[in-house]
Amino acid sequence: MALSRRRRTEEAPYWPGFVDAMAQLLLVITFLLSVFMIAQFLLARQISGQDSALGQLRSQISELTQLLALEKAGKADSDAQLLALTDDLNAQKAKTADLLAGLAAESNKGASAGTTISGLQTSLDSEKKISSDALAKVELLNQQIAAMRRQLSQISALLDDSEARNRTSETQVADLGRRLNTALAQKVQELSKYRSEFFGRLRQILSQRSDILVVGDRFVFQSEVLFPKGGADLSDIGQVEMVKLADALKQLEKEIPADLPWVLRVDGHTDNDPILVGAKFASNWELSSARAIAVVKYLAAQGVTPNHLVAAGFGEFQPLAPGGSEEAKSENRRIELKLTER
């Protein structure tokens, strides 16, 4: 009895420790459940974020066109691998047939050939395994080729659609170009008609002067008619001629439709004599430009609309007559009038 009490006394301290261990285990399990719930929450958030990943995948579809050449090259390599594996498979089948024939021959020899048959069976199993591996590779390659063909089909459809849109756009541009050319041709034809009428009037007005010429589609005034030598101020005779020209231009402005853009270009030209040191103008360019501007200003002062006037100076670089004779120089010193589109 005393021994029993002593045992109960010695066993009593282990029970509180066991309770503490169970409590700690419960805490650990609770912690693990909390971690599992947090992981489930994070996993749910990650799954919800896959929509944005889907958008990124859609943006990658546009890169398929760039990968077309690479996929074609990969297809060629896959075809080559498929042919090689097919050849290997045929070779393995031939070997398998040879082994089966050898196995049948050995089985006829009796039990004494058991060791040989076992070896042949092992070889046959190995060859079958190799054949199954080759078939698996062939199947994988076939799946890859099918996927590549589907991608190529999709890309080809996209390219066909893009080419159709391009053809439609090109047709529209060509039609607009034809319409624009037709409209321009009509405007040029109208301007040519008014140019002919304008030049006809100028011929009637200025026909009494031999120093005013018609060269192609331009009226040419010799500089001596309008300006003194080396100067850019209109002479009295030049002002009289410009008044006649201004009256013809004002009449022309009334007749030409407002939607027909036109200008009278006044081009100044000089001879190739160099400008004297200390002269008013530093070069023949400046002299020819000043003369053209003087004509334009005078026409505007007489009531011609400035929007229909353009002045340009060419110096001595656009001669009518070659050479350095006085006659050629006199012919090259000129003011040209040209009615043209704006």
Question: Could you give the CA distance from residue 317 to residue 302 in angstroms, rounded to a whole number?
Answer: 31
Strand-pairing partners, residue 335, are: 221, 268
Helix, strand, coil shares of the chain as percentages rounded to 5?
75, 10, 20
CA angle at residue 198 from 192 to 200, to 5 degrees?
Answer: 105
Tokens 């400008």 sit on residue: 275
Question: Could you give the CA distance from residue 138 to residue 117 in angstroms, rounded to a whole number?
Answer: 31
Predicted confidence (pLDDT) per residue in 213-260, tens digit: 777 778 898 999 899 988 999 999 999 989 988 998 898 888 888 878
313 SS3 class: strand
Using pLDDT thresholds of 50, 70 and 90, give the confidence band for residue 168.
Answer: confident
Question: Could you give the CA distance from residue 118 to residue 158 in angstroms, rounded to a whole number?
Answer: 60
Q: By C-alpha distance, which of 173, 299, 178 is closest to 234? A: 299
User: Considering the chain, what is the average pLDDT of its residues?
Assistant: 80
The CATH superfamily of 208-341 is OmpA-like domain (3.30.1330.60)
Q: Is 66-173's fold the same as 208-341's?
A: no
DSSP 210: T
305 SS3 class: coil
Predicted confidence (pLDDT) per residue in 263-286, tens digit: 999 999 999 999 888 888 999 999
CATH number of 66-173: 1.10.287
Reply yes or no on whether the pLDDT at 20 is more than 60: yes
Do 288 and 313 touch, CB atoms closer than 8 A? yes
CA angle at residue 275 from 269 to 280, to 5 degrees?
Answer: 95
171: left (phi over 0), alpha (psi -120 to 50) or beta: alpha
Question: Could you give the CA distance from residue 308 to residue 264 in angstroms, rounded to a whole number?
Answer: 6
For the chain, give every domain's residue range: 66-173, 208-341
